């Protein structure tokens, strides 16, 4: 069995970053020598935070967590092409439920067809984060709920200022 330095990409919208995202990124950083957290530019989708804001939040979160082999970047175009450009061999995706798997499996097969050297691995979400999604954080925040148990503390104020309703 050979072992070599491997770059992996953790792609996602991260709108906003949750503790579930941080869990997957952190665990991936222990497996691979270099992690690129990739935020896609998708003009067809409506986000609460800009690409630059999401990258900034991810950088703060990963730095605060001591993940020094993690970098954050934007992706314009296809992930398969981006991976080739960055020399990445692996895409890491977190799975919460069977419904996540169906979509992610389709994406993995598409990426493999576009870039045959690119592998996808799936990490199951830790039990304490299985219910957590960016959409759920936005919904709770929108109704003025406490999101401090769902997002990293170092970006809580940034997220709250944008998402929490002013009642």
Angle between helices 19-31 and 51-64 (to 10 degrees): 60
Q: Is the pLDDT of residue 115 over 80?
A: yes
Q: Is the pLDDT of residue 111 over 90?
A: yes
Q: Is the pLDDT of residue 62 over 50?
A: yes
Identify the active-site residue in 45, 46, 166, 167. Answer: 45
Nearest alpha carbon to residue 81 among 34, 28, 43, 118: 118
Angle between helices 134-142 and 156-163 (to 10 degrees): 60
Q: Is the pLDDT of residue 142 over 50?
A: yes
Looking at residue 53, its pLDDT comes to: 97
Across the chain, mean pLDDT equals 92
Q: What is the CATH number of the domain that holds 22?
A: 3.40.50.620
> Is 166 within a domain?
no
Looking at residue 164, its pLDDT comes to: 84
Q: What does pTM read for this prediction?
A: 0.92
> Is 2 within a domain?
no
Using alpha carbons only, give the angle 164, 27, 113 rounded to the nearest 5 degrees.
95
- Dihedral sign for Cα 27, 145, 100, 97, please: positive
Number of domains in the chain: 1
Looking at residue 44, its pLDDT comes to: 84
| Owning domain of residue 129 | 7-161
Active site residue 74: no
Active site residue 113: no
Q: What percent of the chain has pLDDT over 70?
A: 95
Q: Quickly state the pLDDT bin for 1 (edges 50, 70, 90).
A: very low
> Is 167 within a domain?
no
Q: Quickly state the pLDDT bin for 165 (edges 50, 70, 90).
A: low
Looking at residue 167, its pLDDT comes to: 43
Looking at residue 3, its pLDDT comes to: 53
> Is 121 within a domain?
yes
Partners of residue 74 on adjacent β-strands: 39
What is the rounded CA–CA span in Å between residue 11 and residue 31? 16
Active site residue 45: yes
> Is 84 within a domain?
yes
Active site residue 124: no
Q: Quickly state the pLDDT bin for 123 (edges 50, 70, 90).
A: very high
> Is 1 within a domain?
no
Looking at residue 16, its pLDDT comes to: 96
- 73 CA to centre of own chain: 11
Identify the active-site residue in 13, 21, 29, 54. Answer: 21
Q: Is the pLDDT of residue 36 over 90?
A: yes
Looking at residue 124, its pLDDT comes to: 92
């Amino acid at each position: 069995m050979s072992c070599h330095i491997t770059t992996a990409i953790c792609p996602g919208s991260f709108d906003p970053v949750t503790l579930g995202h941080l869990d997957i990124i952190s665990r991936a950083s222990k497996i691979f020598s270099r992690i690129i957290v990739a935020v896609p530019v998708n003009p067809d989708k409506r986000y609460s935070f800009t690409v630059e804001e999401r990258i900034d939040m991810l950088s703060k979160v990963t730095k605060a967590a001591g993940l020094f082999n993690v970098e954050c970047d934007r992706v314009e175009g296809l992930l398969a092409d981006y991976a080739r450009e960055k020399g990445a061999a692996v895409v890491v995706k977190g799975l919460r439920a069977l419904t996540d798997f169906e979509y992610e499996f389709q994406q993995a097969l598409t990426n493999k067809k576009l870039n045959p050297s690119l592998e996808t691995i799936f990490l199951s979400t830790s039990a304490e984060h299985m219910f957590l999604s960016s959409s759920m954080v936005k919904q709770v925040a929108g109704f003025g709920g406490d999101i401090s148990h769902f997002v990293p503390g170092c970006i809580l104020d940034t997220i709250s200022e944008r998402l929490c309703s002013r009642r």
